[in-house]
Amino acid sequence: MQIFKEKDALKKHIKALKNEKKSIGFVPTMGALHEGHLSLIKQAISACDKVVVSIFVNPTQFDNPSDLEKYPRTLDQDVAKINEVDRDVLIFSPPASEIYGDQIISEEFSFDGLEHQMEGRFRKGHFNGVGTIVKKLFEMVEPDKAFFGEKDYQQLQIIKKLVEKQNLKVEIVGCPIHREINGLARSSRNERLSPEARQKASFIYSILQQVKEDFGTKSATEINTWVSQEFESYPGLELEYFEIANADTLTSIRDIENNIKYRAFIAAYSGEIRLIDNIALN
């Protein structure tokens, strides 16, 4: 297991691998690794000769300073978990100065409107921060394939758009959502929930499953109303948004059209912890 802190050392190592014609798989993370991350790493291992996992809590994508401060930092446990999967994985865990120099700021991007939907409305500047770090990491790692979870489905679409617009030579692979036994989508934030809150948060997935069942027989307006009412009468979770959206453009729908893929999205708070989830509807 090799852990790189400096980008130049990592780049040198990757250059040597590329000279040997090895394909590079990349899994960018912010650490606090869980089964969802490990499944991305396993998928990368099965598709590429060498896998790089980055562990970096990216300051520019946090709109809320307290969320950044409280984000779990568990490097030793993360390394141990990766080791259990495969001792050959390269870990890149740089300090912020290695990535940003002395100016921790985001580049401004246009993602053709994807950035203004859902998360973009509630987390100002978030996707500029994600675009900035992912672009920088891609430049450092030069992966052939990069793996992202569908839990952050809007992020996945935005990264595909980043690659398209910036002409980057990397294939983006979207991977299915990993869930806890009760259905709650795996997230590093789940660790901050009490056992009771964690159990209650499984409500989010049960609502999404019901939405999937009703999709096609009820109108989007009826489903929207039903979801709002369900959350209002459920103590312990506060709905921030529910949307049924076009899975490609992420625009919200009122009327269901044929030949379009739809997904339902939820963001909700359990106390101060923000949880998101989504489901394919057709």
For tokens 């973009």, the residue is 120
Interface segment toward ligand PAF; rule CB under 6 A; list 65-73, 129-137, 197-205, 265-273: 129-137
State the nearest-atom distance from the C-beta of 147 to ligand PAF, in Å.
10
State the nearest-atom distance from the C-beta of 63 to ligand PAF, in Å.
13
Calpha distance 233→98 (Å, rounded)? 48
Q: Is 16 exposed, middle or buried (0-12, 13-18, 19+ CB in 10 A)?
A: exposed
Q: Is 139 exposed, middle or buried (0-12, 13-18, 19+ CB in 10 A)?
A: exposed
Question: Which of 118, 133, 168, 273 lies at the binding interface for ligand PAF (CB under 6 A)?
Answer: 133
Per DSSP bridges, beta strands 145-149 and 24-29 are parallel
State the nearest-atom distance from the C-beta of 31 to ligand PAF, in Å.
9
**Contact assessment for residue 173 and residue 195, using Cβ atoms and an 8 Å cutoff:** no
Helix, strand or coil, per DSSP, at residue 96? helix
Specify the residue, 152 or 243, whose C-beta has the smaller distance to ligand PAF: 152
Interface segment toward ligand PAF; rule CB under 6 A; list 127-135, 170-178, 222-230, 247-255: 127-135
37 is catalytic: yes
Specify the residue, 162 or 211, whose C-beta has the smaller distance to ligand PAF: 162
Calpha distance 51→34 (Å, rounded)? 17
Specify the residue, 114 or 130, whose C-beta has the smaller distance to ligand PAF: 130
Size of interface with ligand PAF, in residues (CB under 6 A): 10
- Of 109, 96, 82, nearest to 27 by C-alpha is 82
State the nearest-atom distance from the C-beta of 60 to ligand PAF, in Å.
9
Specify the residue, 29 or 224, whose C-beta has the smaller distance to ligand PAF: 29
**Contact assessment for residue 118 and residue 251, using Cβ atoms and an 8 Å cutoff:** no
Which residues in the 17-36 window bind ligand PAF by CB under 6 A? 28-30
State the catalytic residue, choosing from 13, 34, 37, 126. Answer: 37
Q: What is the DSSP letter of 123?
A: S
Which residues in the 199-258 window bind ligand PAF by CB under 6 A? none
Question: Taken in order 257, 164, 127, 171, is the CA torsion positive or negative?
Answer: positive
Question: Which of 39, 58, 128, 278 lies at the binding interface for ligand PAF (CB under 6 A)?
Answer: 58
Specify the residue, 152 or 244, whose C-beta has the smaller distance to ligand PAF: 152
Distances (CA, A) of 269 to 190, 216, 237: 12, 28, 6
Residue numbers at the binding site for ligand PAF (CB under 6 A): 28-30, 58, 61, 130, 133-134, 152, 155
Report the catalytic residues. 37
